[in-house]
Amino acid sequence: MVNQVRKPRGLIGKKITRKMNIVHASLAEWGLSHIKLGKDMIILDVGCGGGANVTYFAKIAAEGKVFGIDYSPISVKVSRELNKKYIEEGIVEVQEGSVSKLPFEDNTFDVVSGFEAYYFWPDLINDLKEIRRVLKNSGELLLVNEGYKCENKVAMDIIERWAKPGNLKLYSPEEYNNFLTKAGFSDIRIFEQKEKGWITAIAIKK
């Protein structure tokens, strides 16, 4: 199951990808509440999964452009199906690719997001540097995750049950600040939902 979440494959992967759109809806809504989006923004969602967040962005950035990228062909297919209307209207593009080598020019995006994604990035610091490369100056990185090293023992017990089998790395708020700073970001803001064990990080390229 963890491997399917990491990189969905086949019919089971397709079902899981669609289910993640539903399961992570509340988390995404909470994370997105911390950032202001504009109608003409150029936005990239890295590890777009089933495409629910691409849809959210497309509804707001109707005069801009939204890109989704995922290294799972199944996720790309599901995301394209969900966003068929916006793709036909020219608002959305979804493609297969890696966070380690994003197929975009320097200084392209106003916002780059990663929802439940960094766990699976092969080289966190260098991958964050690659995201920084494609962000415009003063562009924002938004990371939203369901699990982190939190002070709530009950939440932490639940988080570790699914994190440990997949060997998923969890970070404290201080460690978020450290790795984002190391990757060259500044003006870092961390938001915690301690009861549920959720975390959102926003950082700026300057």
Tens digit of each residue's pLDDT (9 = 90 or more) over 123-150 = 999 999 999 999 999 999 999 999 999 9
CATH of region 2-205, choose from 1.10.3720.10, 3.40.50.2300, 3.30.590.10, 3.40.50.150: 3.40.50.150
Does position 191 have pLDDT exceeding 60, yes or no?
A: yes
pLDDT tens column, 2-28: 555 556 666 666 677 777 788 789 999
Strands of the 42-46 sheet, one edge to the other: 92-96, 65-70, 42-46, 109-115, 135-145, 198-205, 185-193
pLDDT at 31: 98
In sequence order, which ranges of the chain are alpha helices (DSSP H)? 2-6, 10-23, 25-32, 52-60, 73-82, 84-88, 124-134, 153-163, 173-182
pLDDT confidence of residue 23: 78
Which pLDDT belongs to residue 166?
Answer: 73
Question: What is the helix (H) or strand (E) element at residue 80, kind and residue range?
Answer: helix 73-82
Q: Which pLDDT score, from 0 to 100, does residue 38 have?
A: 97
The confidence band for 109, taking pLDDT boundaries of 50, 70 and 90, is: very high
| pLDDT value, residue 7 | 60
Smallest CA-to-CA distance from 6 within 55, 44, 49 is with 49
Residue range 55-74, pLDDT digits in tens: 999 999 999 999 999 999 98
pTM: 0.91
Residue 201 has pLDDT above 80, yes or no: yes
Rg (CA), the chain: 16
